[in-house]
Chain A
Protein backbone atom coordinates (compact mmCIF):
# COMPACT_ATOMS: atom_id res chain seq x y z
CA UNK A 1 0.00 0.00 0.00
CA UNK A 2 2.68 2.46 0.96
CA UNK A 3 4.51 1.88 -2.28
CA UNK A 4 1.34 2.61 -4.24
CA UNK A 5 0.73 5.76 -2.21
CA UNK A 6 4.25 6.96 -2.82
CA UNK A 7 3.91 6.39 -6.52
CA UNK A 8 0.59 8.25 -6.60
CA UNK A 9 2.09 11.15 -4.70
CA UNK A 10 5.04 11.20 -7.03
CA UNK A 11 2.76 12.05 -10.00
CA UNK A 12 2.88 15.80 -10.37
CA UNK A 13 -0.59 17.37 -10.12
CA UNK A 14 0.36 20.89 -9.23
CA UNK A 15 -0.58 23.99 -11.20
CA UNK A 16 0.78 27.41 -10.45
CA UNK A 17 -1.63 30.22 -9.61
CA UNK A 18 -1.90 31.66 -13.09
CA UNK A 19 -2.33 28.14 -14.44
CA UNK A 20 -5.23 27.55 -12.06
CA UNK A 21 -6.92 30.73 -13.20
CA UNK A 22 -6.37 29.80 -16.84
CA UNK A 23 -7.75 26.30 -16.27
CA UNK A 24 -10.87 27.69 -14.63
CA UNK A 25 -11.49 30.12 -17.47
CA UNK A 26 -10.95 27.40 -20.05
CA UNK A 27 -13.42 24.94 -18.59
CA UNK A 28 -16.02 27.63 -17.97
CA UNK A 29 -15.84 28.84 -21.55
CA UNK A 30 -15.94 25.30 -22.95
CA UNK A 31 -18.92 24.22 -20.89
CA UNK A 32 -20.90 27.40 -21.57
CA UNK A 33 -20.24 27.21 -25.31
CA UNK A 34 -21.31 23.56 -25.38
CA UNK A 35 -24.38 24.43 -23.32
CA UNK A 36 -25.47 27.19 -25.72
CA UNK A 37 -24.85 25.06 -28.79
CA UNK A 38 -26.58 22.08 -27.19
CA UNK A 39 -29.58 24.18 -26.23
CA UNK A 40 -29.96 25.47 -29.79
CA UNK A 41 -29.53 21.99 -31.26
CA UNK A 42 -31.94 20.42 -28.81
CA UNK A 43 -34.49 23.12 -29.59
CA UNK A 44 -34.11 22.55 -33.32
CA UNK A 45 -34.52 18.77 -33.21
CA UNK A 46 -37.01 18.89 -30.31
CA UNK A 47 -35.00 16.55 -28.12
CA UNK A 48 -33.83 17.84 -24.78
CA UNK A 49 -31.68 14.76 -24.37
CA UNK A 50 -29.46 16.02 -27.22
CA UNK A 51 -28.79 19.14 -25.14
CA UNK A 52 -27.74 16.97 -22.23
CA UNK A 53 -25.49 14.80 -24.42
CA UNK A 54 -23.73 17.84 -25.84
CA UNK A 55 -23.25 19.31 -22.38
CA UNK A 56 -21.75 16.01 -21.20
CA UNK A 57 -19.40 16.09 -24.20
CA UNK A 58 -18.28 19.55 -23.10
CA UNK A 59 -17.77 18.24 -19.58
CA UNK A 60 -15.54 15.42 -20.84
CA UNK A 61 -13.57 17.74 -23.10
CA UNK A 62 -12.94 20.22 -20.30
CA UNK A 63 -11.91 17.36 -18.01
CA UNK A 64 -9.33 16.26 -20.60
CA UNK A 65 -8.05 19.79 -21.03
CA UNK A 66 -7.91 20.98 -17.45
CA UNK A 67 -7.65 17.98 -15.13
CA UNK A 68 -4.09 16.91 -15.98
CA UNK A 69 -1.47 19.56 -15.15
CA UNK A 70 -0.45 20.20 -18.74
CA UNK A 71 2.70 22.30 -19.21
CA UNK A 72 0.61 25.28 -20.28
CA UNK A 73 -0.59 25.61 -16.69
CA UNK A 74 2.92 25.55 -15.24
CA UNK A 75 4.58 28.43 -17.04
CA UNK A 76 4.59 30.87 -14.12
CA UNK A 77 6.22 29.08 -11.21
CA UNK A 78 6.45 31.02 -7.98
CA UNK A 79 9.89 32.61 -7.49
CA UNK A 80 10.75 30.74 -4.32
CA UNK A 81 13.91 31.81 -2.54
CA UNK A 82 16.71 29.32 -2.83
CA UNK A 83 17.14 27.17 0.25
CA UNK A 84 20.05 28.50 2.23
CA UNK A 85 22.86 26.17 2.86
CA UNK A 86 23.21 26.97 6.55
CA UNK A 87 21.62 23.95 8.10
CA UNK A 88 24.05 24.05 11.02
CA UNK A 89 22.96 27.50 12.16
CA UNK A 90 19.24 26.79 12.21
CA UNK A 91 19.00 25.28 15.70
CA UNK A 92 20.77 28.31 17.20
CA UNK A 93 18.50 30.80 15.46
CA UNK A 94 15.35 28.97 16.53
CA UNK A 95 16.47 28.85 20.10
CA UNK A 96 17.16 32.58 20.08
CA UNK A 97 13.65 33.31 18.87
CA UNK A 98 12.03 30.96 21.32
CA UNK A 99 13.51 32.80 24.29
CA UNK A 100 15.69 31.96 27.23
CA UNK A 101 13.60 29.49 29.15
CA UNK A 102 12.96 27.25 26.21
CA UNK A 103 16.55 27.41 25.30
CA UNK A 104 17.50 26.02 28.68
CA UNK A 105 14.84 23.35 28.58
CA UNK A 106 15.64 22.20 25.11
CA UNK A 107 19.25 21.93 25.96
Chain B
Protein backbone atom coordinates (compact mmCIF):
# COMPACT_ATOMS: atom_id res chain seq x y z
CA UNK B 1 0.00 0.00 0.00
CA UNK B 2 2.98 2.31 0.10
CA UNK B 3 3.37 2.77 -3.65
CA UNK B 4 0.93 3.56 -6.42
CA UNK B 5 1.45 0.18 -8.05
CA UNK B 6 0.85 -1.83 -4.91
CA UNK B 7 -2.29 0.17 -4.20
CA UNK B 8 -3.51 -0.40 -7.75
CA UNK B 9 -2.85 -4.12 -7.34
CA UNK B 10 -4.74 -4.26 -4.05
CA UNK B 11 -7.75 -2.39 -5.40
CA UNK B 12 -7.88 -4.53 -8.53
CA UNK B 13 -7.64 -7.78 -6.58
CA UNK B 14 -10.32 -6.64 -4.17
CA UNK B 15 -12.62 -5.65 -7.04
CA UNK B 16 -12.18 -9.04 -8.66
CA UNK B 17 -12.97 -10.83 -5.41
CA UNK B 18 -16.12 -8.76 -4.97
CA UNK B 19 -17.13 -9.47 -8.57
CA UNK B 20 -16.70 -13.20 -8.00
CA UNK B 21 -18.88 -12.92 -4.90
CA UNK B 22 -21.54 -11.00 -6.81
CA UNK B 23 -21.56 -13.60 -9.57
CA UNK B 24 -22.05 -16.33 -7.01
CA UNK B 25 -24.91 -14.39 -5.40
CA UNK B 26 -26.45 -13.97 -8.88
CA UNK B 27 -26.31 -17.75 -9.26
CA UNK B 28 -27.90 -18.19 -5.82
CA UNK B 29 -30.86 -15.96 -6.73
CA UNK B 30 -31.79 -18.26 -9.62
CA UNK B 31 -30.66 -21.62 -8.26
CA UNK B 32 -34.13 -22.48 -6.98
CA UNK B 33 -35.84 -22.09 -10.39
CA UNK B 34 -37.19 -25.30 -11.88
CA UNK B 35 -37.18 -23.88 -15.45
CA UNK B 36 -40.32 -25.88 -16.28
CA UNK B 37 -42.87 -24.83 -18.85
CA UNK B 38 -45.86 -26.47 -20.51
CA UNK B 39 -45.56 -27.17 -24.22
CA UNK B 40 -47.88 -28.44 -26.90
CA UNK B 41 -46.76 -30.64 -29.76
CA UNK B 42 -48.90 -32.02 -32.56
CA UNK B 43 -47.92 -34.20 -35.47
CA UNK B 44 -49.47 -33.61 -38.87
CA UNK B 45 -48.10 -35.77 -41.65
CA UNK B 46 -46.29 -38.97 -41.02
CA UNK B 47 -44.66 -41.13 -43.65
CA UNK B 48 -41.87 -43.66 -43.52
CA UNK B 49 -39.54 -44.70 -46.32
CA UNK B 50 -36.97 -47.42 -46.71
CA UNK B 51 -33.86 -45.84 -48.22
CA UNK B 52 -30.11 -46.18 -48.14
CA UNK B 53 -28.37 -44.33 -45.34
CA UNK B 54 -25.10 -43.54 -47.12
CA UNK B 55 -23.34 -42.54 -43.96
CA UNK B 56 -23.43 -45.99 -42.34
CA UNK B 57 -24.04 -49.13 -44.36
CA UNK B 58 -25.11 -50.30 -47.77
CA UNK B 59 -28.30 -51.67 -46.28
CA UNK B 60 -31.55 -49.82 -46.49
CA UNK B 61 -32.79 -48.26 -43.31
CA UNK B 62 -36.09 -46.77 -42.24
CA UNK B 63 -36.33 -43.03 -42.63
CA UNK B 64 -39.26 -41.20 -41.10
CA UNK B 65 -40.65 -37.87 -42.25
CA UNK B 66 -42.97 -35.89 -40.03
CA UNK B 67 -44.24 -32.36 -39.84
CA UNK B 68 -45.25 -31.02 -36.48
CA UNK B 69 -46.86 -28.07 -34.74
CA UNK B 70 -45.18 -26.62 -31.70
CA UNK B 71 -46.56 -24.12 -29.24
CA UNK B 72 -44.69 -23.00 -26.17
CA UNK B 73 -44.34 -19.79 -24.22
CA UNK B 74 -40.88 -19.78 -22.72
CA UNK B 75 -40.71 -16.06 -22.01
CA UNK B 76 -41.09 -16.53 -18.27
CA UNK B 77 -38.03 -18.78 -18.12
CA UNK B 78 -35.69 -15.90 -18.80
CA UNK B 79 -34.08 -14.10 -15.88
CA UNK B 80 -30.93 -12.10 -15.27
CA UNK B 81 -28.83 -15.24 -15.01
CA UNK B 82 -29.77 -16.73 -18.37
CA UNK B 83 -27.99 -16.00 -21.60
CA UNK B 84 -29.81 -18.35 -23.91
CA UNK B 85 -32.01 -21.41 -24.20
CA UNK B 86 -31.13 -24.33 -26.40
CA UNK B 87 -34.29 -26.18 -27.40
CA UNK B 88 -34.29 -29.60 -29.00
CA UNK B 89 -37.07 -31.90 -30.07
CA UNK B 90 -36.42 -35.57 -29.44
CA UNK B 91 -38.21 -38.64 -30.75
CA UNK B 92 -38.09 -41.60 -28.40
CA UNK B 93 -39.12 -45.11 -29.37
CA UNK B 94 -38.41 -48.75 -28.81
CA UNK B 95 -37.38 -51.27 -31.45
CA UNK B 96 -36.59 -54.96 -31.26
CA UNK B 97 -32.92 -54.07 -31.71
CA UNK B 98 -32.70 -51.33 -29.07
CA UNK B 99 -34.68 -50.76 -25.96
CA UNK B 100 -34.31 -46.99 -26.19
CA UNK B 101 -33.78 -44.94 -29.33
CA UNK B 102 -33.49 -41.18 -29.15
CA UNK B 103 -33.27 -39.06 -32.26
CA UNK B 104 -32.98 -35.28 -32.23
CA UNK B 105 -35.20 -33.98 -35.01
CA UNK B 106 -35.09 -30.24 -34.58
CA UNK B 107 -33.40 -27.63 -32.45
CA UNK B 108 -33.38 -23.90 -31.88
CA UNK B 109 -31.38 -21.35 -29.96
CA UNK B 110 -33.29 -18.53 -28.26
CA UNK B 111 -31.05 -15.75 -27.05
CA UNK B 112 -32.02 -13.32 -24.33
CA UNK B 113 -34.29 -10.67 -25.76
CA UNK B 114 -35.38 -12.71 -28.73
CA UNK B 115 -38.95 -13.84 -29.09
CA UNK B 116 -39.49 -16.85 -26.85
CA UNK B 117 -43.17 -17.33 -27.68
CA UNK B 118 -43.06 -20.19 -30.11
CA UNK B 119 -45.98 -20.90 -32.38
CA UNK B 120 -45.00 -23.08 -35.32
CA UNK B 121 -47.26 -24.80 -37.78
CA UNK B 122 -46.30 -27.70 -40.04
CA UNK B 123 -42.66 -27.48 -39.20
CA UNK B 124 -40.30 -29.86 -41.00
CA UNK B 125 -37.65 -31.58 -38.97
CA UNK B 126 -34.14 -30.19 -39.31
CA UNK B 127 -32.34 -33.51 -39.10
CA UNK B 128 -33.00 -36.89 -40.68
CA UNK B 129 -35.11 -39.29 -38.68
CA UNK B 130 -33.12 -42.43 -39.49
CA UNK B 131 -33.56 -45.62 -37.59
CA UNK B 132 -30.54 -47.91 -37.47
CA UNK B 133 -32.60 -50.76 -38.91
CA UNK B 134 -36.19 -51.30 -39.90
CA UNK B 135 -37.80 -50.25 -36.68
CA UNK B 136 -39.92 -47.31 -37.79
CA UNK B 137 -42.51 -48.88 -40.07
CA UNK B 138 -45.60 -49.65 -38.08
CA UNK B 139 -44.01 -48.47 -34.83
CA UNK B 140 -46.95 -47.80 -32.55
CA UNK B 141 -45.29 -45.74 -29.89
CA UNK B 142 -43.03 -42.88 -30.92
CA UNK B 143 -42.94 -40.03 -28.41
CA UNK B 144 -41.92 -36.48 -29.23
CA UNK B 145 -40.65 -34.35 -26.36
CA UNK B 146 -39.20 -30.87 -26.29
CA UNK B 147 -36.27 -30.38 -23.94
CA UNK B 148 -34.00 -27.45 -23.30
CA UNK B 149 -30.63 -26.56 -21.92
CA UNK B 150 -30.39 -23.41 -19.86
CA UNK B 151 -27.15 -21.52 -20.51
CA UNK B 152 -26.60 -19.18 -17.54
CA UNK B 153 -24.13 -16.41 -16.78
CA UNK B 154 -22.97 -18.38 -13.80
CA UNK B 155 -24.01 -21.68 -12.32
CA UNK B 156 -25.19 -25.06 -13.48
CA UNK B 157 -26.31 -26.09 -16.97
CA UNK B 158 -29.60 -27.82 -16.24
CA UNK B 159 -31.26 -30.03 -18.84
CA UNK B 160 -35.01 -29.68 -18.62
CA UNK B 161 -37.79 -31.65 -20.25
CA UNK B 162 -40.85 -29.70 -21.21
CA UNK B 163 -44.15 -30.64 -19.64
CA UNK B 164 -46.18 -32.25 -22.39
CA UNK B 165 -45.33 -34.70 -25.14
CA UNK B 166 -46.96 -36.25 -28.19
CA UNK B 167 -47.12 -39.92 -29.01
CA UNK B 168 -47.82 -41.04 -32.56
CA UNK B 169 -47.47 -44.09 -34.74
CA UNK B 170 -45.86 -44.66 -38.10
CA UNK B 171 -47.93 -46.11 -40.97
CA UNK B 172 -47.67 -49.78 -41.76
CA UNK B 173 -46.62 -49.23 -45.36
CA UNK B 174 -43.55 -47.60 -46.85
CA UNK B 175 -44.09 -44.58 -49.01
CA UNK B 176 -42.45 -45.14 -52.39
CA UNK B 177 -39.16 -43.50 -53.23
CA UNK B 178 -39.74 -40.00 -54.50
CA UNK B 179 -42.90 -39.05 -52.67
CA UNK B 180 -42.54 -36.02 -50.45
CA UNK B 181 -44.60 -34.49 -47.74
Contacts and interface: CB of A to CB of B under 8 A. Distances in A.
Contacts of B80: 42-43, 46-48
Contact of B4 (A32, A62, A67): A67
Contact of A15 (B1, B22, B23, B26): B1
Contacts of B7: 23, 66-67
Nearest to B12: A59
A35 B11 CA distance: 14
B18 to A, nearest CB: 5
A20 interface: yes
19 contacts: A14-B2, A15-B2, A20-B1, A28-B14, A31-B18, A42-B26, A42-B80, A46-B80, A48-B80, A52-B22, A55-B15, A55-B18, A58-B15, A59-B11, A59-B12, A59-B15, A66-B7, A67-B7, A69-B4
B116 to A, nearest CB: 14
B33 interface: no
B11 A39 contact: no
B1 A13 contact: no
B2 A48 contact: no
A32 B14 CA distance: 10
Interface of B: 1-4, 7-8, 10-12, 14-15, 18-19, 21-23, 25-26, 29, 79-81, 153
The list of the 4 closest CB pairs from A to B, nearest first, reads A20-B1, A46-B80, A59-B15, A35-B18
Contacts, number: 65
Contacts of A55: 15, 18-19, 22
**Chain B contact residues: over half helix, strand or loop, or mixed?**
helix
**Chain A contact residues: over half helix, strand or loop, or mixed?**
helix
A67 B2 CA distance: 10
Interface residues of A, number: 30
A31 B14 contact: yes
Contacts of B25: 39
Which among B8, B25, B80 has the highest number of chain A CB atoms within 10 Å?
A: B80
Contacts of B11: 27, 31, 59, 62-63, 66-67
Contact of B81 (A15, A48, A63, A66): A48
Given A66-B7, A67-B4, A38 B22 contact: yes
A52 B154 CA distance: 13
Contact of B26 (A24, A27, A48): A48
A47 B79 CA distance: 8
Contact of B1 (A23, A35, A39, A48): A23
A13 B29 contact: no
Nearest to B80: A46
Contacts of B23: 48
